[in-house]
Every structure is written in structure tokens, then in C-alpha cells.
Structure 1
Amino acid sequence: MASKFSHLPDISTIQPDRLIKYRVSEDRFSAEVLLPGLSYTDFDQKIGGKMNLWSMAKLFECIRYAVLPYGFGHFDMLKDDEHSIFMASTAYHVTDNGNSLNSRPHWGLNFPMYTTLNIIYAGSSAFSFEIKLTNFDTSEILMTAEMTFVYIDYNTRRPAPFPAWYEEAKNKKKFGPALPRLPTLEIPQNAFQYEVHSNYSDIDHNGHVNQSIYVKWCTDAGTEAALKGLYSGFIDNIGKYPLDSLEIKYIGEGMVDEQFAVNTWQDKDSPLVLHFAVTKQKKLTIVAKFTYKASELGSRL
């Protein structure tokens, strides 16, 4: 990544008229973004001023759409009236520095964050990229994310093969293997079930429930389960506990004005792991896995 931009000026000196600064590599398989800081509304005073988990998901959405329309991953040419990309899976990893983000020192224009984006896999109808989020001033890693998107035909709502020109472009590069996907576990009979309804504000530009909304639903369901004493160690809002990773696999589409059930249970082998399965009319929409760090806050785990 560094070699593609090392010959260019420091990103903080470019685009003086923009708060969010960005650039895309010549081959369009890498990009970098400089964010001015976090919003006050990204944090929740009920959990000690920590960052909401769904705000983390929206933050990475902001990062990728700062560069996708400007050529990253050739998205500007892939998306047309008949095609788009749908998220298939994502995994967020949070460092100790990321878990320490707090509303008092870390919101506003005094906490710039630098991000790098790299396409790490490209198949016949899907590609994956890694986003690394760092503290711009110290270079400390805050969070990373690996995301897989599928090229979709709007008419069939099914994966479509990439165009020939994209195949030619990606064949000039060397990529890694496809990312592993979260396994689909059977929902235990004793799983806690939390009912939710999709509203218009939950829907994204592709017409289905936004990925951050699923994170919010799982957080709400997990918190209610914890408050009811259904987990062996979590006894409070699960957003308070230091997160290690959050993995989601998208299986079906959720639309507006639909009823969903969020099923959650604690992993039988590790109390630090919480599982979620969102269903619509008993059919899976997403599965998710929240893995937490052992810490003083999570000492009951």
C-alpha cells in the first residue's frame, strides 16, 4: 500500500477544501482516506461514552463510500442500472486502542484518523477488501475490517459474472485466497428471541436493511438477554464490554415494514463469544458472532 502513495504528498496536505480527504491508486485496487474525526453521536453516554457498535459499522461504510464512487475497486464502472454490489460478509477487529475510544477526548476535529483500503481477493463475481483504521497522529491501529461484496444483477437479485474488462484488470494483479465465511450454526431451542420491525429509516440505497441496523438489533437483543441474566457473564449493556471481533454473514434480504426475530445465545465452549441469528418468517437473514476480550470489565466472564 505504501509504495502506491509514497511518491505523493502527505494526504493531509491535499484537497484543502475537503474535510474528508481521499485518493485512489492508479490500478484502482488501493485507496487511502483521511477522516477529520468522529461525531459526538457516535458515542453513547449510557455505556461510559464508548463508541456504539453500529456507529463502528457506519464509520466503515463512510470510509468505503468515500472512495468507491471515485474508482476504488472499479465500483464506478461496475455499478449501473442493472448491477450493483451487495455485502456478503464482514468482520471487524478492534484493538485495545479502538476499545478506548471515548466521547470526551475522541470526538470532533482534533482526532483525525487515517485509513488504507486494499483489495485482497477478486473472484469471478465477488471481491474482498481490507480497511485499516489508524490514529493519524500516532499511527496506532484502532480497528480493521475485512469485507466481501458480491456483484449482483438487480433483475435476478443473484450473483453475476464480472464484465470481461474487469477480469482483464484483476488478472494483472496477484490476490490472496477468498476470505473464510462465518459458519451457519443451528439455533438452540433455548436461545433468547428478540422481536424487531424494519422501518423506512433502516433501509439503504439498495432497498434492504442496512448492515449497521443488524449490528444495532443484535446489540439490543444481546443487552436484553444480559439484563435478564441469560448469559453466564454479561450482566449489562453488551456495548460496555471490550470487543475483540464482530463477524457477520448476510444470507437473505430484509426489506421495509417486515418483522424479524433476533435469536441469541452464548457459545457453549467460550463465554466470551455470543452468537446471533436474525430470521424473517423463520428463514435466516444474517448470522453474527461477537467475540469479547477478557479484561477487568469482563472479569465475570
Structure 2
Amino acid sequence: MTAVEPVQVEVSPDHSQAWTHFKEISYNDFGRSETLMPYKVCRMFESGRLLPMQRGFIDYPQIVNEHFGMYSFGLSLKFEPALWKVRRGASFPYKIHTRVVGVGRTSLNLQSRLINKLDEKELATLNLKYVYVNRHTGRSATLPDWLVNKYTSTLREKISVELPKTVPRVPLSASSYDVMVAESDVDHNNHTNNASYIRYCSDAVHSAVKKGRLPRLEPDASNFPLLDLQAVYLGQSWMGDKLRVLLWQQEDQQDAICFVIKRKRKEQETVIFYSCMVFEKVMVASRL
């Protein structure tokens, strides 16, 4: 054994809010452009949510067991431009404030904010639809009445998670990028971590730019900061699965890129993920 220090976590008495405190951003969170990688920011939000859940946030220990679990269905994530100006070698202590902002029969809406503790500036906001699922059938399950009543009565502000109603048709001109799920992509649930899909999409963008398929983001996608991200998780994948990322530029919104990820098994492909990412319209000074 070696000496360790627990992450500081606060959970409100009614379990509807939580604050998770981190001392700094890790060197590993920065990428080739010396700035933060989007999928790493998603992991920051994940840790800021799951750690307090283990300590009672949303009564997680009372409702999750071998029969039922809570899974992300969809998210909307907005970034402040200041977040992408933080360079490798600099850091700040930060906190993730998460609260219940919506209650349904089978799901909870959560909002998380990433806050710089040095100046209290909000640098990113995540709205997440968290669905209660029967582990045996894989289908949504009804939340306990006592939990629905409890969080309905304590709800301070109701916020809906804006998600696409349907997956758009993939145009024939879409660019394609193949991925095989590696062991390092899999989380404690033994399926592909949600943030890994964001990384696959980011890698697909850079591949498409190099092939001349996304002139909008040339000469390097790293020079166009990500402003907005929506994602819907429609299925799962596991280590060893072959995935195909399809991406294209929206015709009616030139700064938006759409993504569909399909899981390939034998001769069949199943859509398991859909996302839309909005990038800065104007290229910033080269970060490379």
C-alpha cells in the first residue's frame, strides 16, 4: 500500500446536488495541439458525476444493483472558448457541480458545470439524460415511486435535455473511418466508455481533413475549437468490436459536423451512436 488522498466530494442532505473537487487538470488531458482534448473533458464530467453517486447522490446505492442500472442515453455539452485557451503546462483547481434538473418515470435529467475555482468561471456545461435500465432485458425500467416523488418535490429548476428526435439519413458523400474497440476503451461496465465514442469522432474528423473531405476545417481541425456537442447513445459495443464512423458536414449549418457510429458484425451493421458537433466558424491562431 501507499499513502493516498480521497477526492473531496460533497453531497447535499437531500441527495439532489453534489460537488466534486479536483486539485488540477492532468498532463494527460492535453493533446497534440497542447490544449485539452474534448473526450478528456467528458471524462472529467464523468468522474465528477460518478464519485458522488457512489456516496449517495441521486440515491444511487439504493436503486442500482445486479438487476437495474443507470446509463447515459443522451447529452448536450457546451464549451466556453476560454477552456480551449488553457495550454499544457498550465492548470487550475476545478469543481464539478451536478444537480437533478428533471424527473421522469424512467429517467433523470442531470446538469453538471465545470467551474474554475480560481475565478469561479464556468467553462463547460453538460446536460445529461440518465435512464434507468433493466440489466437482464436491456430495456428502460420504471424508477421507484419514492425516488420520483422525492426528486419531483425537491426540483428547483426544470431543464430539458435537447436531443435529436431521429438519426438523420447518412449521405452517400459521408466520410468513413474504421475503429476496433480496444481494452483501454472499455469501462467498469465492460462496454465501451461513453467518452471513447467522442474520441472516435474526433479522430475521424482529423482523418477526413487529411483526406481533403472536410475543407471547412482545413488545414488542421485543431485550429477550430469545439463549441457545442450533442450525442445520443443508441446501443453498446465491447472490446474487439469493429466500428465504422460516418461523418459529414451539415448542409444547412456549415460549422456543424454529424456523426453516426455503426457496429459491424458479420454482414450486419447496427447504429449505436449519433452525434453533432459545432466548431468555431473562424480558425484561431495555429495551436501547433
TM-score (ref. length: structure 2): 0.91
Cross-structure match for 2:23 = 36
In the alignment, the residues of structure 2 paired with residue 283 and residue 298 of structure 1 have an alpha-carbon distance, to the nearest angstrom, of: 40
Cross-structure match for 1:272 = 255
Cross-structure match for 1:141 = 122
Is the Cα–Cα contact under 8 Å of residues 249 and 257 in structure 2 kept in the other structure?
yes
SS in 1 for 2:114: strand
Shift of 1:250: 0.5
CA deviation map 1:181-240 (0-9, x unaligned): 124111101101111111222122222111111011101111110111111321244344
Cross-structure match for 1:242 = 225
Q: In the alignment, residue 99 of structure 2 is paired with which amino acid?
A: N
Moved over 3 A (4+): none
Moved more, 259-268 or 72-81: 72-81
2:163 paired residue among 170, 177, 181: 181
In the alignment, the residues of structure 2 paired with residue 274 and residue 30 of structure 1 have an alpha-carbon distance, to the nearest angstrom, of: 33
In the alignment, the residues of structure 1 paired with residue 133 and residue 178 of structure 2 have an alpha-carbon distance, to the nearest angstrom, of: 29
Which consecutive unaligned segments of at least 5 residues does structure 2 have?
none
1:71 paired residue among 56, 61, 66: 56
Is the Cα–Cα contact under 8 Å of residues 232 and 271 in structure 1 kept in the other structure?
no
Q: In the alignment, residue 281 of structure 2 is paired with which amino acid?
A: A
Is the Cα–Cα contact under 8 Å of residues 199 and 257 in structure 1 kept in the other structure?
yes
CA deviation map 1:248-268 (0-9, x unaligned): 101111122111100000111
Q: In the alignment, residue 147 of structure 1 is paired with which amino acid?
A: L
CA deviation map 1:252-298 (0-9, x unaligned): 11122111100000111222111110011322110011101233428
Moved more, 112-121 or 199-208: 199-208
Is the Cα–Cα contact under 8 Å of residues 241 and 298 in structure 1 kept in the other structure?
no
1:128 paired residue among 103, 109, 116: 109
1:288 aligns with 2:275: yes
Q: In the alignment, residue 279 of structure 1 is paired with which amino acid?
A: K
Shift of 1:167: 2.5
1:102 aligns with 2:83: no
In the alignment, the residues of structure 1 paired with residue 30 and residue 159 of structure 2 have an alpha-carbon distance, to the nearest angstrom, of: 36
Percent identity over the alignment?
Answer: 20
In the alignment, the residues of structure 2 paired with residue 283 and residue 114 of structure 1 have an alpha-carbon distance, to the nearest angstrom, of: 37
SS in 1 for 2:86: coil
Q: 1:123 to 1:150 in 2, by over 3 A?
A: same
Is the Cα–Cα contact under 8 Å of residues 234 and 298 in structure 1 kept in the other structure?
no
In the alignment, the residues of structure 1 paired with residue 159 and residue 89 of structure 2 have an alpha-carbon distance, to the nearest angstrom, of: 41
Cross-structure match for 1:216 = 199
Q: In the alignment, residue 192 of structure 1 is paired with which amino acid?
A: S
Cross-structure match for 2:78 = 93
Q: Count residues with an aligned counterpart.
A: 277
Is the Cα–Cα contact under 8 Å of residues 19 and 36 in structure 1 kept in the other structure?
no
Moved more, 231-240 or 181-190: 231-240
Is the Cα–Cα contact under 8 Å of residues 202 and 209 in structure 1 kept in the other structure?
yes
In the alignment, the residues of structure 1 paired with residue 260 and residue 222 of structure 2 have an alpha-carbon distance, to the nearest angstrom, of: 18
In the alignment, the residues of structure 1 paired with residue 98 and residue 21 of structure 2 have an alpha-carbon distance, to the nearest angstrom, of: 11
Is the Cα–Cα contact under 8 Å of residues 219 and 239 in structure 1 kept in the other structure?
no
CA deviation map 1:134-184 (0-9, x unaligned): 110111111111111110111111111012321231232335254221241
Q: 1:51 to 1:236 in 2, by over 3 A?
A: farther
1:155 paired residue among 136, 144, 148: 136
Shift of 1:59: 0.9
Q: 1:177 to 1:116 in 2, by over 3 A?
A: closer
